[in-house]
Every structure is written in C-alpha cells, then in structure tokens.
Amino acid sequence: MPTTDARGYPVTNAAAAERDIFEKALGEFQTYTGDPVATIESALAVQPDFLLGHVMRAHLMLTTTERGLADEVAKSLAAAVGVARHGTEREQMHLEAAQMWASGDIDAASSKLFDLTVRYPKDALALQVGHLSDFYLGNAGMLRDRVASALPAWDAADPGYHALLGMHAFGLEECGAYRAAEEVGRRAVDLNPKDSWAIHAVAHVIEMEGRQQDGIDWMGSRVPDWSVDNFFAVHNWWHWALYHLDLGGIEKVLQFYDNHIRAERSEVVLDMLDASAMLWRLTLLGVDVGDRWQELADCWAPLVEDGFYSFNDTHAMMAFVGAGRPDLAKANLARLEAVAGGSNTNAGMAGEVGVPVARAINAFGEARYDDVIEALLSTRYIAHRFGGSNAQRDILAWTLVEAALRAGRFELAEALCHQRLAQKPTSLQNWQMAARACDGLGHGADAARAQQRVREIGAAAGSPI
C-alpha cells in the first residue's frame, strides 16, 4: 500500500516518517510558525527521492518573493525533476506550478494550482500556495473563490481545516464581505488560536471598518498567539500599530516600530515592506522619524536592482526617498522601467502599476506634487494588479490626498477626503486632511466641523489633538 498524506492522497517515495514530517512542515506553513523549510529538509535528508518534499521546499521559498532564494529554488526543482517520473498526477501538477512560478509566470502557476484544487480539493499545500499566489497577484476574487471551491470537500475533522477558514476569511474581507469574513475568521481562530493568518484576516476586517479600539483589543488579547515563534509577527505588529495611528497615537506607533517592527533590523523583504509602509505614513503626517529611514534604506540598498516583484520595489523606493538617497531612488526606478519591458508576470505589474507608483513616490520626495497626482490618479483603480491587500494599498490613496493638499488643489483634495470618510469616518487622519482641504477652499464652517471631529476622536482615544 502506498503512503498517503493526512487527507488520503498518495505520496511518492515517502514512508510514514517522511509523511509525518511533511505534515508537520505543512502545519508550520499554514500557521507561519517554526521553520517549515528546515522541517521538510529533515525529511529530505532521510529520503532524497521524496518528490513532494522537494516541491514543497521550492514552494516555501517562492512564496517569500525573495530573489536571493532563486538558486535554492532551482536546486529543489532540479531534484524534483530527477525523481518526477515516479510521481502521481497530483505531484506532477505541483511540480509544474512551481516551475511556472520560478520562471516568472505567477499567473500560470496560480491557474495550475487552481486546476490542482479542482482535481484534488483536499490538497492543503496547493490551497496554501495558491492563496498566496492570489495575494501577490492582487486577485481578490480568487482569494475568496479558490478556497470556497474546495470547502465542501472538507470538514472540521480534517487536519488544517482552520487554515482553510482563515484563508477564506481573508478572501471575503478583500471582497468587502466584512460580516462573513469576521465570522469565518473567528471560527478559524477558535479551532486553532495559533493561526496567525486567521487572526490577521479578522484584523483586516476591523481595519477596513474603522473599529480601531476593537482592533487594539483583538490584537492585544492574542499577543502570545501571533507574536511568539511566528514569521508573520512583524506584519501583525504593523496591523496593531495602524489602529493606534488612526487614533493619533504617534508615540505608540513609534514604540511599536522600534520595539517590534524593526527591533531585529530584519533584512527579510516582507518585514522591510511593513517598515517602509509605516514610516511613509508617519512621513505623510509630518512626523520626524529621526534616522529610522537611513537604517531601512541601508537594508533595501542591496536589492536596488532586484526588479523581482514590483510591490517590493515600490516600498524600497519609499525608503530611498525618505532617507534622501536620490542615487538609490534613481537606480531603483531605472530597474523598474527596464523590468516593465519584459514578458513575465512582474513585467505587467511594473508597467501598469509599479513604474507609475515609483515615479509618484520619487516625485513626492522632490515636491513635484502635480506629477504625484497625475501618476496616482492613473493607477488608483488598478493598483490591486501589483498585489498586496486593500489595507496595504491604502498608502497610495493617502499619498494622493496629501499631494493634492500640498499642491493647493483643494477641490480635488476635498473630493478625495469625502471618499475616504465614506469608507472610514472614524479615522482621525481622514478628518485632519478634510479640515485642511476645507480651510484651503475658505469653507470655514466645514473646516471647524472637521477639526471638531479630530478633537473628539483624539479625546476618545486618549490622544487629545
């Protein structure tokens, strides 16, 4: 009898011991705990012909969006190809998806992984990697629907069921189904309190609905679950800090940044993304962040000509502009422009969104605010095409409003503020920007009302303005 995984699918060249190690690595991948790469490598050390083990190792590295792991990905794929002739259809499909991603065709990899899910709906690895591909592609519909298509085949007794609910919750949130998203996300956390992706899905709902104190309480009540031995911890600290930022708690945000977001001076790209995103928000508010930009720009500098994933490159641009490093900013933009001429998935992302966004960030640093407005207006409804979440991409909309205010284009700024307030009327920053727009237009009464809302929100949060 062939070995099967925990959901009943055959696994090639793996005895029960290797299968159990694979399941352990998969559980770590689903909860962002431990070291799933090291775990699966321990199985490969015992059984070098473990096909799905090699493919999992490639998947794990591909989903980091780190160019520096390309050689290790290639090594895993070469090893997988060497034993693939003995593999099942499911394992062959996994290998093909990983090869597509490694070649730069994330779209094709995502489609192949969906085909795999249709054929094998209880393949937890395919769902996990597919979900991340949807995130990197900014495909909100598939973030929701990929998991929804497989859910009926599962039940709560299946190992990893909590992870499906957590992923589904995030997809629902990105599609604006906030009530359903929060319900499903909380169910996932009830099943596994260590599911940091599910915790994060609920955090997204609360962020988008502007329930800042609920968010502070939600994250604060579960710190040991998402912050200990968890490589998603920095992003969840970032989410917690966002609630404080929205209530005017600048000192608290800076404490979170120093003690958690950048405490380790991590050179992991996903961690540096969060650092750039937070410092840029603070910079938009006129906060003096000291030498924090310099440290971060130094960490981004080795990747200045990366051109591997446009979402990363635009966050590197924030650091270069924030640190006053025009040499790095220029090189980064040139690389993005060169990438946009290619034919892979990232080339499309760069051409449609990455290049104009990077130009906008660079222009903002040079006080060319009309150029910022032109670039960001052209991308505001297609920005999802270079990945990230609604909460992450909000930084572009915020930058657009600030540019309009600084350019003296107060009618545009007021209109944009109305849009933001319609979505999040509890945001202190939104009301501050609205007050500035109204003041610029000479609408004194409206400016006074907006300032009153700023004071009310700040007072309620214990951050009087």
pLDDT at 352: 97
pLDDT at 460: 86
pLDDT at 86: 87
Q: What is the mean pLDDT of residues 308-324?
A: 97
Tokens 């991409």 belong to which residue? Answer: 393
Q: Rounded to whole angstroms, how far apart are CA atoms 429 and 367? A: 21
pLDDT at 83: 95
Q: Quick one: how far is CA 112 from the chain centroid?
A: 22
Q: How far is CA 156 from CA 151, 191, 192, in A?
A: 10, 9, 11
To the nearest whole number, what is the mean pLDDT of the chain? 96
pLDDT at 202: 98
Of 7-21, 121-135, 301-315, the least confident: 301-315
pLDDT at 307: 80
* Cβ–Cβ under 8 Å, residues 12 and 91: yes
Taking 70 as the threshold, does the pLDDT of residue 187 lie above it? yes
Provide the token pair at 391: 């909460």
Q: What is the mean pLDDT of residues 274-289?
A: 97
Taking 80 as the threshold, does the pLDDT of residue 1 lie above it? no
- Quick: pLDDT tens for 239-260: 999 999 999 999 999 999 999 9
Taking 70 as the threshold, does the pLDDT of residue 464 lie above it? no
- Quick: pLDDT tens for 75-111: 999 999 999 998 999 999 999 999 999 999 999 999 9
- Quick: pLDDT tens for 14-61: 999 999 999 999 999 999 999 999 999 999 999 999 999 999 999 999
Provide the token pair at 432: 């501050």
Q: What is the mean pLDDT of residues 160-183?
A: 98
* Cβ–Cβ under 8 Å, residues 4 and 20: no
pLDDT over 90 percentage in the chain: 96
- Quick: pLDDT tens for 411-433: 999 999 999 999 999 999 999 99
Which of 44, 28, 8 has the alpha carbon at shortest distance from 123?
8
pLDDT at 118: 98
Provide the token pair at 290: 């000291």
Which of 356, 350, 315 has the alpha carbon at shortest distance from 336?
350
The DSSP output letter for 230 is: B
- Quick: pLDDT tens for 101-115: 999 999 999 999 999
Taking 80 as the threshold, does the pLDDT of residue 159 lie above it? yes
pLDDT at 305: 75
Residues 6 or more apart in contact with residue 25 via CB below 8 angstroms: 36, 37, 39, 40, 43, 56, 60
Q: What are phi and psi of 219, to 5 degrees?
A: -70, -40
| Helix (H/G/I), strand (E/B), else coil: 158 | coil
- Quick: pLDDT tens for 125-136: 999 999 999 999
pLDDT at 463: 64
Which of 220, 222, 226, 255 has the alpha carbon at shortest distance from 240?
220
Q: Which domains does the chain have, with CATH numbers?
A: 1-120 (1.25.40), 248-397 (no CATH), 408-460 (no CATH)
- Burial-class residue 27 by CB neighbours within 10 Å (0-12, 13-18, 19+): buried
